[in-house]
Chain A
Amino acid sequence: MENRIIDHQLGRLKDRILLLGGATETALNRAMESLAKRNSELAQKVLDEDKIINEMELEIDRMSVEIIALHQPAAHDLRFVIAVAKITPILERIADHACNIAESALILNTEPPIKEHVDLSRMAQVAAEMLRSALDAFTAEDSEVSRRVIERDKEIDEGYHRVFGELLESMIDDPTTTTSAAHLLFVAKHLERIGDYVKDICELNVYLREAVFIKHSPKN
């Protein structure tokens, strides 16, 4: 960063959103681990720490408004503040999905485990990798990486359909698993939504770098 007054403010803003990104990643990873390891304590931790994430969101909103009002950013500075202001609520929503997964984990951990849900952990791994890459690409303002991450959303969608089929089968084969299967279905749906949100972040990364909105365009 350089030494204009605004650089100091933009630097602080970047630090904050990276902290928020880190907290969101942690929430997602812990939620999935609480499920895989049947660790209810960890799930509870995700739920307890969500309010920190909400506070981080408010703080970033406040800082973004202040920079626009007091420093009148233009060009890349402006795109940076806009990108941050738009990525922030997306991260907060991803963290909400992590909470929802943690809530399902609390219930699932009291039910007998059903057969291995290999695909669910695979989906979770792809979602976590995508989120990590999206945040790295934001830091590096790398639109090439961002475009590749957008492509990976397909893997999540495929995983979702596979898990859906498997869980349906499980419900039919052994109706006692219905409660668990239904909750796992929710978890899969949350992961699928997270994939969509990460895609949105990557689209904003491309905007930051190239000043183009690729959202809703037929081919990125």
Chain B
Amino acid sequence: MGNKIEVSNLNFYYGKAQALYDISLAVPEREVVAFIGPSGCGKSTFLRTLNRMNDTIPSARVDGTVTIDGRNIYAPDTDVVSLRRRVGMVFQKSNPFPKSIFENVAYGIRINRIHQNKADLAERVEKALRDAALWDEVKDRLNESAYGISGGQQQRLCIARALAVQPDIILMDEPASALDPIATQKIEELVVELKNNYSIVIVTHNMQQAARVSDKTAFFMLGKLIEYNSTQKMFTSPDEKLTEDYITGRFG
């Protein structure tokens, strides 16, 4: 399978402080890639370079290239709005809008004018909720506030919201870190299921979670990519001693 995302020689700075050093890495089509590493090593920063979410930070500066389907997303003619539509993002803290469950999912479809008519909109909302494994739990309360559902359900609502605009890539930053084991398992099953249609990058501090859901794992430390290998290799016999020390809890 081909590569969906290719990053070459990426450096990233917050003002004078360099946060990422010469990162090169490829995310294959329809695979799950996990990013692991100690707090502050740059996982979230790197994740955000993949859909230019860092653009909103005034002092931020990036050099190097990130291509998606072969096109450099940092090229001057890039339409950032459509880029973010294609590269959806789910955050650690679920952040539903103060609106109904239905409207949370419908919002992105509306502003991107993806739907044909009202019936089509309702269909798309339902499909996104089904794909996020949430439909059965909310179908009878679509017009209630999104704040009235549990944290795990809110997180899946945010995933539904990301799916509704038909991205091809989903970035997840610790999507299950605040959830109980059952809600966590649902998110993990969802990730594995979504892999059939999307390329997924997931940041996690849970080593077992990385091992369970991902095909490849990247280990970062102090802004550097230390090792990027198949997950199977990373957790049974990593090439780098630093990786071994980290995943076996010798530091971090």
A interface list, Cβ under 8 A from B: 2, 4, 6, 72-79, 211
Q: List 21 A-B contacts (CB under 8 A).
A: A4-B248, A4-B249, A4-B250, A6-B248, A6-B249, A72-B207, A72-B208, A73-B248, A74-B235, A74-B247, A74-B248, A75-B236, A75-B237, A75-B243, A75-B247, A76-B237, A76-B248, A78-B235, A79-B237, A211-B236, A211-B237
B118 CB → nearest A CB, Å = 50
In the docked arrangement, what's the CA distance between A76 and B237, Å?
A: 7
Whether B131 is near chain A, meaning CB under 8 Å from some CB there, is: no
In the docked arrangement, what's the CA distance between A78 and B207, Å?
A: 14
A40 CB → nearest B CB, Å = 49
Contacting residue for B207 out of A4, A6, A74, A79, CB 8 A: A74
Q: Name which of B207, B208, B237, B250 has the most chain A CB atoms within 10 A of its CB.
A: B237
Whether B238 is near chain A, meaning CB under 8 Å from some CB there, is: yes
A77 x B236 contact (CB < 8 A) = no
In the docked arrangement, what's the CA distance between A77 and B243, Å?
A: 13
Given contacts A74-B248, A211-B237, 20 further A-B contacts (CB under 8 A): A2-B250, A4-B248, A4-B249, A6-B248, A6-B249, A72-B207, A72-B208, A73-B248, A74-B211, A74-B235, A74-B236, A75-B235, A75-B237, A75-B238, A75-B247, A76-B244, A77-B248, A78-B235, A79-B236, A211-B236
* Known interface pairs A2-B250, A73-B248; A78-B236 also in contact (CB < 8 Å): yes
Q: Report the interface size class on chain B.
A: 10 to 19
In the docked arrangement, what's the CA distance between A75 and B233, Å?
A: 9
In the docked arrangement, what's the CA distance between A211 and B238, Å?
A: 10
Instruction: Give the residues in chain B near A4, CB-CB below 8 Å.
Output: 248-250
A-B pairs, top 7 by smallest CB distance, nearest first, are: A211-B237, A75-B244, A74-B247, A74-B235, A77-B248, A74-B248, A4-B249
Q: Mark B79-115, 1 if CB is under 8 A from A, else 0.
A: 0000000000000000000000000000000000000
Q: Which residue of B lies closest to A75 (CB)?
A: B244
A67 CB → nearest B CB, Å = 12
Q: Which residue of B lies closest to A210 (CB)?
A: B237
In the docked arrangement, what's the CA distance between A119 and B247, Å?
A: 51
B51 CB → nearest A CB, Å = 31
Q: Which residue of A lies closest to B233 (CB)?
A: A211
Q: Which residue of B lies closest to A3 (CB)?
A: B250
B251 CB → nearest A CB, Å = 10
A51 CB → nearest B CB, Å = 36
Q: Which residue of B lies closest to A78 (CB)?
A: B236
Q: Which residue of B lies closest to A207 (CB)?
A: B237
In the docked arrangement, what's the CA distance between A73 and B249, Å?
A: 10
Q: Name which of A72, A75, A78, A79 has the most chain B CB atoms within 10 A of its CB.
A: A75
A85 CB → nearest B CB, Å = 15
Instruction: Give the residues in chain B near A2, CB-CB below 8 Å.
Output: 250
